Structure 1
């Protein structure tokens, strides 16, 4: 780690202390994620970190989220964890046609955190500490009006941006239906520039080939030009 980064980390730790919180037990690499997300500004990064700690204590008081806590969401089998891409990133496939609005907003938010936690853990064996990232493919094939859930989409992006800084490597959106174009334009206004730059709309054969090359045929499911089978999140067992 460069001296400039170490200096910023020291200043961030001090700023966190001034906010009556602590970075005890947190490695430098994890703190750098918050700094990068806030343009290396120690004060802003400290505020983001403190907010993350408060949120984490509320959403996962045990330190992790059990499958039983998000059983309804898992049972839909809409999230697949495929393994690791050529670049060492964990890969998620979201089948939007299997998602339906839920009245249990807390369980949904816990589910988003559960998915991201497991994806980060999946990448941990292939990436440096603090640099575990995620590639996500959002498949909108057969998406219908019944699947529209603006609140959940916005909540998922908010959790990703606010509490998982520098975790997203790339997000591919496939088969965008007309009914979602206007909604997406509205939602994209609420996304950070850094997040928007990582989102790729996949429409042409060339774009599909680029996605295949970046991810890897053995990881990408057959449905998208690869050779792998979809692997539901709950069927993936990670090492302790």
Structure 2
């Protein structure tokens, strides 16, 4: 981190304290995310950070979303957590044919938080490196009109960098990027499919965001 960024982070920490909150539990890479999101404006970044803390405290009061609160979404077995890619990123597989637009939007929002928290915890183990990413493979095989979720697609396109795999070279690149150990059988890898609810977080992984 260069000197200008270090100064900005320090100023942001002070601004957060003035707003009655604390950054004690968070390292510089996390705070930099908020600064970048607010064009390095320390006051705006501090305000955004405090709002995020307040949202997290109210929406994820246990610091995680238990399976019991998103059981309907889990029962569809549409999300699979496959471990880590060759670069250490968590790998998610989404079977779109098993997805139906949510009738309970609150449960769906909790489900998104649940799966992202679990994916991050499975890979980064509480480390803050400032460039945390995940790989999501969207399987469109046998997709039908009933599976189309406009709201879900819009949300996904907002934070995913889309790469469409439609030929052999692109398939080989997918295998190289993900790695055969994480990529499931049938997709060019050797791994077994592991449903999100069946993926076990080891004790060293259980530090949720």
Equivalent position of 1:170 in the other structure: none
TM superposition outliers: structure 1 runs of 4+ over 3 Å: 17-22, 36-41, 125-132
Structure with more contact order per residue of length (Cα contacts < 8 Å, sep ≥ 6): 2
What residue in structure 2 maps to residue 181 of structure 1?
Answer: none
TM-score, normalization by structure 2: 0.86
Q: CA deviation at 1:18?
A: 4.2
Point out the more displaced range, 59-68 or 130-139.
Answer: 130-139
Kept in 1, the 8 Å contact 2:30–2:128? The answer is: no
* Structure 2 residue ranges without an equivalent (≥5): 204-209
Aligned equivalent of 1:88: 88
User: In structure 1, what is the Cα distance between the partners aligned to 2:98 and 2:16?
Assistant: 41
Q: Is the deviation greater in 121-130 or in 209-218?
A: 121-130
Matches within 5 A, 1:127-166: 128-154=128-154, 156-157=155-156
Give the stretch that moved more between structures: 63-72 or 40-49: 40-49
Q: Where do 5+ consecutive residues of structure 1 fail to align?
A: 158-187
2:177 to 203, 211, 214: 214
Distance in 1, matches of 2:38 and 2:171, equals 32
Aligned pairs for 1:34-45 (under 5 A) are 34-45=34-45
Q: How far does residue 207 in structure 1 lie from its aligned partner after superposition?
A: 1.4
Q: Which moved more, 1:103-112 or 1:8-17?
A: 8-17
Alignment of 1:74-85 (within 5 A): 74-85=74-85
What is the SS of the residue equivalent to 2:88?
coil
